[in-house]
Chains A and B, each alone.
Chain A
């Protein structure tokens, strides 16, 4: 039964890679998950073994990156790669300022910047599949599908505090040993715009035709997956240069 799950190989490794780019990462064993939307019914997606940061990338980690790569400092970044709000919570190019906890997750960061950071670390942004696979774990199961868990996720989303003051890794880790997948920030994925919600959720004839209104519940596998609706809708509203108060990232190693 579930006891066997406890015997799973979960390993924390303190890795050092890149210059000053370090994180605790967690290995996830390959497995399947049912994505929120696919046209045919219960098509499962197979996810290979991968490693994921146990916590979101923090302000101090990102600070090391912009010090090593000045072109990503907020006064120097090209506007096509990051909109004006990029790192707007920092005091200046290389100082966080008193309002920002170094251990809080980096936010106000564009997809381009998150991708550049990941590359600098020799890593990558997770795919939507990887992220959702990691995020479907509750405390005890690799795939938490109980109503209690789903309700808890809605609570967590509503209670998020985007105050730049809450450090990563404070809550309880999930089954894999990963922290803060739901309660702290939204996170970039490499293919955030591949499963689009264009804005018209009910009748789009393209990729996203199932994502809105009543159409959404027809196409989605579990009509009660309100938490997933919220995540996919949020991703769908993004453009790669957006820098938002509640949007950061973590990296993976494939």
Chain B
């Protein structure tokens, strides 16, 4: 290595300068902080921790409120729930939701944790909170049979955003079934005030049936071992943060997202389409990175993300390992309302992302699917809605209204008016190049969709009848005729 050519005579005064600076800064801090230590902070009161379910979080900690004893009651519930439209799954949950309730405490707080395993549950469970300093993060002390309750306590020594999860064997299966959540330990002075806070947690799910296959799906241990999930979702199901479940904000507001990744296997490339993260607490810790496009969230890790929304519209949240967003469900939405600001819109939104992502025709391998035979027009429309929600809505949006300039609208569409075969062909063969729809030019690419003739006929029938188009009914034979 190259030897530094600075002699000690130069460096000593420099060091002295730093020392002086440290002394001065030290004198500026208030008296109560000088000897404050989260491990020995005196408990000055006791509160019951509120149960707040995702995507919401409990209210912020008041700055320098002092250390409190917090009683947390959490119930483990095994229950069948919705994984996607028409798809149900045997979830194992904390608090009955995936992810479990958001825990919010402050540095120095003492937590008395009550873990309750519902009597109707079939399995033993426990909890490992990454915020705990102590053996197993509470796992051993909280190991609980069905119909029992375990109590343990811990002192929150380190501020940060931490994952909690079940750590009972087989751990992977407990996590894969949904047993994870986030615990925020706020620094004693609190986090800076923001306008809105939301709680999002990604997870991968492994089902015996393929993505979108109807009915009650069971955990596939082979797919889990191969780390090959059928679903990668936010907050426990496809669509948990889109449509009616979208998050909201007003122009000019600052949003703070607490984003975790339960895994069990995949690492998330968390990204917001049409926004830049102003500040990211990297890995949920003290380090703040600014102006981040995509932040990596490891399985069993988290990040605190803050950004100000400047323009109205939709901020789309994705795992930018992008097939997960468009084919496995990792999609969420923040609807921002307020006045337009054209100068910022054109200056700030990076439109290239859409074009690069859609720049090539993607054809998936042919897969045999179980046909679902819909009889009446009404049945076709309701089956078609499920196909639409699972496969089309991510781009073409609810109500087929599209995304101006990026994803053409399907509602009252001039493109396939009078010629339904153009719509069918786009679905079964894909479509790329310049088209004009309702007066706007689109130059993008849509991949051919892996759907059966039956499914395509249903979804086109749905689009024709529900989105202010020509109406009518498409048969599987018509679809077959369009396949190239």
Residues of A within 8 A of B (CB): 85, 147, 150-151, 154-155, 157-158, 160, 162, 186, 197-204, 211-214, 216-217, 223-224, 226, 229-230, 232-234, 236-239, 242-246
Contacts and interface: CB of A to CB of B under 8 A. Distances in A.
B81 to A, nearest CB: 13
A246 B169 contact: no
B147 A244 contact: yes
Contacts of B403: none
A160 B122 CA distance: 7
Contacts of B402: none
Q: Which of B119, B145, B173 has the most CB of A within 10 A?
A: B145
B167 interface: yes
Given A155-B218, A234-B123, A245-B119, A200 B135 contact: yes
B142 interface: yes
A202 B90 contact: no
A244 B90 contact: no
A212 B147 contact: no
Contacts of A155: 218
Contacts of B140: 198-200, 204
B124 interface: yes
B126 interface: yes
Contact of A201 (B119, B144, B168, B222): B168
Interface string B138-152: 011111111110000
B467 interface: no
Given A154-B218, A154-B219, A212-B168, A236 B123 contact: no
Main secondary structure of the interface of B (DSSP, over half): loop
A15 B135 CA distance: 50
A5 B186 CA distance: 64
A246 B124 contact: no
Nearest to B78: A158
B133 to A, nearest CB: 14
Given A158-B90, A198-B143, A237-B143, A229 B169 contact: yes
Contact of A212 (B122, B144, B145, B169): B169
13 contacts: A85-B119, A151-B208, A155-B218, A160-B122, A162-B120, A198-B143, A212-B139, A216-B169, A223-B225, A229-B170, A233-B169, A237-B124, A244-B119
Interface in B422-459: none
B167 A246 contact: no
Contacts of B141: 199
Contacts of B17: none
A158 B136 CA distance: 27
Most central of B126, B145, B169 by chain A CB within 10 Å: B169
A216 B171 contact: yes
B221 interface: yes
Contact of B122 (A162, A201, A226, A238): A162
A154 B141 CA distance: 26
A93 B380 CA distance: 57
Nearest to A213: B171
A140 B222 CA distance: 23
Interface in B197-234: 208, 218-222, 225
A17 to B, nearest CB: 31
Interface of B: 90, 119-120, 122-124, 126, 135-136, 139-148, 167-171, 173, 208, 218-222, 225
Contacts of A214: 171
A203 B134 CA distance: 13
A147 B224 CA distance: 14
Contacts of B148: 237, 242, 244
Most B C-beta atoms less than 10 A away, residue of A157, A199, A211, A224: A199
A157 B221 CA distance: 14
Given A197-B143, A202-B171, A246-B146, 6 more contacts: A151-B220, A160-B122, A200-B135, A211-B169, A226-B170, A243-B147
A211 B148 CA distance: 21
B147 A230 contact: no
A217 B139 CA distance: 18
B122 A199 contact: no
B167 A212 contact: yes
A229 B222 CA distance: 15
Given A158-B218, A230-B123, A246-B122, A237 B145 contact: yes
A200 B221 contact: no
Contacts of B144: 237
Name the residue among A201, A229, A242 with the largest chain B CB count within 10 angstroms.
A201
Nearest to B136: A200
Sorted nearest first, the 4 A-B pairs with minimum C-beta distance are A199-B143, A237-B124, A200-B140, A199-B140
Given A203-B136, A204-B140, A245-B146, A226 B123 contact: no
Nearest to A237: B124
Contacts of A197: 124, 143, 168-169
A157 B169 contact: no
A232 B169 contact: yes
Contacts of B208: 151
Contacts of A224: 221, 225
Contacts of A239: 145
A33 to B, nearest CB: 19
Contacts of B122: 157-158, 160, 162, 186, 246
A180 B427 CA distance: 49
A200 B167 contact: yes
